[in-house]
Structure 1
Amino acid sequence: MQSKVVNRLLCVMFIAISLLLVSCGGKGISIAAYKGKSAQKVYKLGKHFLKKQGYKDAIAAFESLNAQYPFSKYSESGNLNLMYAYYEYGEPELALVIINRFLQLYPHSEHADYAYYVKGVIEFENHRNILQKYLPYKMSEHDDEHHILAFNTFKQLVKEYPKSKYAKDAIKRMLFIRDSVASHVVSIAKFYFDRKAYIAAIARAKEVIQHYEHTPAVKDALRIMLKSYRKLGLTKLADTTEKVWKVNFTKPAYKQHHVSTSSIKQQDLPKPAMISSKVK
């Protein structure tokens, strides 16, 4: 009984948020045109617009469905489509609101893996909107906060839904993120080294070696550590680091012990597709 009350309260909150999203953040989206139409009709219109890539109209339809029929059999599928519509419409923040509420309302949904996947992709893309996606972008040159969030989201997806059709791409993105975050930390280490802050450079390089082993960035991290120790006159530490570098990064050893994911290109990773969820 208590769980039903909680779910109903969550649904009421979801309605209020949906109305707020439409009125404040939806780029002129209005749900008035769907007032009085049946839940089935509104849902079918939303699906029709989505298939035609009319994301603005699809958003309006699915938001109207939330507002008018929050407890209908179309709600779960409607919100799955709504999160995708917001994503494609270039409103990643609004898509995340829908995703997070969806996972609260339907934690055991058979399509929860899709929600986690779209969430991870949005975080992976660093919350860039539709215009920013067309600008040059290199993940390793940007703050890694959202990328770490994406890694954790994909990790949760793979852990909870190992047989999901999204798991393979999630793993590929996790490898890409790991390499990119390691490269980002190395770039910070180099920044410190270039400014003669050798202790700070060593600390960042150690972070890569300890937390991002088997990434291509480890090679550069060891090199920065070696040069920093030399600059500080710490001969023994420098010699030890040099031995580690030679053992691990002479060509035969490097090929044998290190797996590079450089063949994974960010632009080659697939985008989320419209989900084909059935109303039960």
Structure 2
Amino acid sequence: MGDVKRVPGVSISAWSAVLALALLAGCSTTAKDETAGMSNEKLYSEARDEAAAGNYERAIRFYERLEGRAAGTLLSQQAQLELAYAYYRGNERAQALATLDRFIKLHPGSPALDYALYLRGLVNFNDNLGLFGSLSRQDLSERDQQAAKEAYQSFKQLVEQFPASTYASDARLRMNYIVNSLAAYEVHVARYYYRRGAYLAAANRAQAAVQGYQESPAIEEALYIMARSYERLGLTQLRDDAERVLKTSFPDSAYLTRGFQAKDKPWWQLW
């Protein structure tokens, strides 16, 4: 760059500010809007192609543009739903949920509301698969189960409002999975407490499973843990109550023979 000549009558500080602005202007570039010449239909087609190819970042950008351009139309609603899906597949869970919540709030009468509820449930459901799939490899401490419960509520709303929906059958299966997983989680924690001698905590967590998830197969073990925990605490009446419910609900349970006949065995031989 050649020497810059000072303009007479202009202070050094003012001249420096003008020079800085000139340099910034010279170095700046204007980002080209690649969608500027596209019709809404073309933009939608491009967004779908990018999403199908797995280019979710680019698809998201196109859907966001389309949603704004086509505001107030059915195409905008469609773009909003597909934007949420692109966020979901692009591992941007918070943005996906925010987009779906906005859609559900703004379009309660939409014919695609069942899909929006299903997708909202799916986002939260998949967020928790890691929790339920690897409990035995994790440090056992309190975990946030809110997303699983929110997934359940979305699926429940779907099957109650739209029982004949294409997505209702799968939603019911996922609801059943969530219930069983939450119950198994409570029992897993109860077992953890029992093995470490925290019998009151074990009894409380097992009782929470029994009261909250009565149809889950995990209740069998929960009742057994309750009975053994109450026995360790010297609460014989509560022990007998838990054992009676176990016998009534699961008359063929292995815990009734193997478990209660091994009262003096160490905890690592109880399961």
Q: Report the CA distance between 1:36 and its aligned residue.
A: 4.4
* Aligned position for 1:199: 200
After the TM superposition, which residues 151-230 of structure 1 pair with which residues of structure 2 at under 5 Å, given as runs? 151-230=152-231
Q: Report the CA distance between 1:181 and its aligned residue.
A: 0.3
| Matched residue SS, 1:152 | helix
Contact 1:31 1:63 in 2 (8 A): no
After superposition, give the CA deviation of every residue in 1:186-207 in whole Å (9 maximum; x if it has no partner): 1222232223222222222111
- Percent identity (aligned): 37
Q: For the residues of structure 2 that align with 1:243 and 1:103, how far apart are their CA atoms? A: 47
| Matched residue SS, 2:211 | helix
1:33 aligns to 2:38 (yes or no): no
After superposition, give the CA deviation of every residue in 1:153-177 in whole Å (9 maximum; x if it has no partner): 1001111111101000000000000
After the TM superposition, which residues 84-123 of structure 1 pair with which residues of structure 2 at under 5 Å, given as runs? 84-123=85-124
What is the letter of the counterpart of residue 208 of structure 2? E
Contact 2:67 2:77 in 1 (8 A): no
Q: Report the CA distance between 1:122 and its aligned residue.
A: 0.8
Contact 2:87 2:96 in 1 (8 A): yes
| Matched residue SS, 2:127 | coil
Q: Report the CA distance between 1:120 and its aligned residue.
A: 0.3
Contact 1:189 1:200 in 2 (8 A): yes
- 1:94/1:51 CA distance change after superposition, 3 Å: same
Q: For the residues of structure 2 that align with 1:214 and 1:85, how far apart are their CA atoms? A: 36
- 1:56/1:168 CA distance change after superposition, 3 Å: same
What is the letter of the counterpart of residue 38 of structure 1? S
* Aligned position for 1:267: none
Question: TM-score with structure 1 length normalisation?
Answer: 0.71
Contact 2:190 2:205 in 1 (8 A): yes
Q: For the residues of structure 1 that align with 2:117 and 2:173, how far apart are their CA atoms? A: 15
- 1:108/1:188 CA distance change after superposition, 3 Å: same
After the TM superposition, which residues 1-280 of structure 1 pair with which residues of structure 2 at under 5 Å, given as runs? 32-126=33-127, 137-138=133-134, 143-251=144-252
Q: For the residues of structure 1 that align with 2:70 and 2:32, how far apart are their CA atoms? A: 13
Contact 1:39 1:72 in 2 (8 A): no
Q: Report the CA distance between 1:82 and its aligned residue.
A: 1.1
| Matched residue SS, 1:56 | helix
Contact 1:31 1:61 in 2 (8 A): no
- 1:225/1:170 CA distance change after superposition, 3 Å: same
Q: For the residues of structure 2 that align with 1:84 and 1:60, how far apart are their CA atoms? A: 13
Contact 1:83 1:99 in 2 (8 A): yes
Contact 1:206 1:221 in 2 (8 A): yes
Q: For the residues of structure 2 that align with 1:139 and 1:223, how far apart are their CA atoms? A: 20
Q: For the residues of structure 2 that align with 1:136 and 1:100, how far apart are their CA atoms? A: 25
Contact 2:132 2:181 in 1 (8 A): no
Q: Report the CA distance between 1:226 and its aligned residue.
A: 0.9
Deviates more, 1:234-243 or 1:154-163: 234-243
Number of matched residues?
220
* Aligned position for 1:265: none
Q: Report the CA distance between 1:90 and its aligned residue.
A: 1.9
Q: For the residues of structure 1 that align with 2:56 and 2:118, how far apart are their CA atoms? A: 19
Q: For the residues of structure 2 that align with 1:236 and 1:52, how far apart are their CA atoms? A: 63
Unaligned segments of structure 2, at least 5 residues: 1-30, 254-271
Q: Report the CA distance between 1:52 and its aligned residue.
A: 3.2
- 1:127/1:241 CA distance change after superposition, 3 Å: closer
